[in-house]
Amino acid sequence: MDGEDVIDTLGQGTLMQPISNALADAGPFHDDDRAAVYRAIFTRRDVRSQFLPRAIPAEVLDRLLLAAHHAPSVGFMQPWNFLLVTAAEVKERIKAAFTQANHEAASLFQSEQLSLYSALKLEGISEAPVNICITCDRERGGPVVLGRTHNRDTDIYSTVCAVQNLSLAARAEGIGVGWVSIFNDSDLRTILGLPDHVLPIAYLCLGYVKELHQIPELETRGWRKRLEIEPLIFSNSWGNARPPQPVI
């Protein structure tokens, strides 16, 4: 974690007390711990309509935000901010901005795709107890950042890592997360008062859920299927298929 080791003492009500900069064991997790990580990855789902009318306790929300804040970032720039949206009037303005953008998006699809698109529920802005806009401060770290000298967009990539951390931590807490991406950035900027140098990266809806789709909803609804992984893996150069793996 770039110079800071932590202890997770969730059961004692104290979260991640910093300790010395000593090196820690890098061996594999115990079986149950490793299985829990993969379970979070494979059972995470984008949530739009399964939110329960149950508040997220402050200590749970803080755990999610801290998990996001411990994402990897190029040059340890930590370019993210977490803008919490809970006020009904702000949610209403955000939902209106989504509705307008969604009408624009629908016009890009035709025939059967349009019919399916129009039937999909693509946000839970009003239903979710908490909305979070995760942003990227493009000035964080100053004009020259280690590792960003030849690719300016690594701050954006780093911020997306924070989004993923939050999503996986939320899955472990029984909290659903829905990423709403159908916005005009200018609308989000105006409603949330974002400075010019700050980019809105992810607008998330968070809330407890009772159940999740076993298979991603867009797959069950016939929008797209999950791709097979092997054709996506190349060896040494683009398009060069990986040699067959030996059977052990």
Using pLDDT thresholds of 50, 70 and 90, give the confidence band for residue 6.
very low
Asked if the model's pLDDT at residue 137 lies above 50, the reply is yes
Is 4 a member of any domain? no
Whole-number pLDDT of residue 143: 94
pLDDT at 18: 61
Please indicate whether residue 39 or residue 16 has the higher confidence score (pLDDT). Answer: 39
Which residue is it, tokens 């950035």?
185
Q: Spell out the residues 6+ positions from residue 56 whose beta carbon is closer than 8 angstroms to its own.
A: 129, 130, 175, 206, 207, 208
Task: Give the pLDDT confidence of 57-112 residue by residue, as tens digits.
Answer: 999 999 999 999 999 999 999 999 999 999 999 999 999 999 999 999 999 999 88
Calculate what percentage of the chain has a pLDDT beyond 70. Answer: 92
Q: What is the pLDDT of residues 151-208, one digit of tens each?
A: 999 999 999 999 999 999 999 999 999 999 999 999 999 999 999 999 999 999 999 9
Q: pLDDT category, 16, cuts 50, 70, 90?
A: low
Residue 238 lies in a domain: no
Whether 236 maps to a domain, the answer reads no
pLDDT at 20 over 60: yes
Beta bridge partners of 131: 85, 205
Mean pLDDT score, 133-148: 96
Residue 11 has pLDDT above 50, yes or no: no
Q: Does 162 reside within a domain?
A: yes
Inside any domain, residue 164: yes
The predicted pLDDT at position 36 comes to: 97
Averaged pLDDT score across all residues of the chain: 92
Q: What does the pLDDT read at residue 165?
A: 98
What pLDDT, on a 0 to 100 scale, did the predictor assign at position 21? 75
pLDDT recorded at residue 246: 79
Task: Using alpha carbons only, give the angle 17, 134, 147 rounded to the nearest 5 degrees.
Answer: 75
If one counts the domains in the chain, the total is 1
Q: What angle do CA 33, 51, 95 make, to 5 degrees?
A: 125
Question: Where in the sequence is the domain holding 82, given as residue range(s)?
Answer: 50-221
Tell me whether residue 27 is in a domain: no
Q: What's the CATH code of the domain at 139?
A: 3.40.109.10
The answer to whether residue 183 is domain-embedded is yes
DSSP string, the chain: --S--EEEEGGGTEEEEE--S-----PPPPHHHHHHHHHHHHH--B-SS-B-S-PPPHHHHHHHHHHHHTS--GGG---EEEEEE--HHHHHHHHHHHHHHHHHHHTT--HHHHHHHHH-----TTTSSEEEEEEEETTTT-SS-TT-SS-TTHHHHHHHHHHHHHHHHHHHTTEEEEEE--S-HHHHHHHHT--TTEEEEEEEEEEEBS---SS-HHHHTTS--PPPSGGG-BSSSTT-BPPPPPP-
Domain presence at residue 156: yes
| pTM given for the model | 0.89
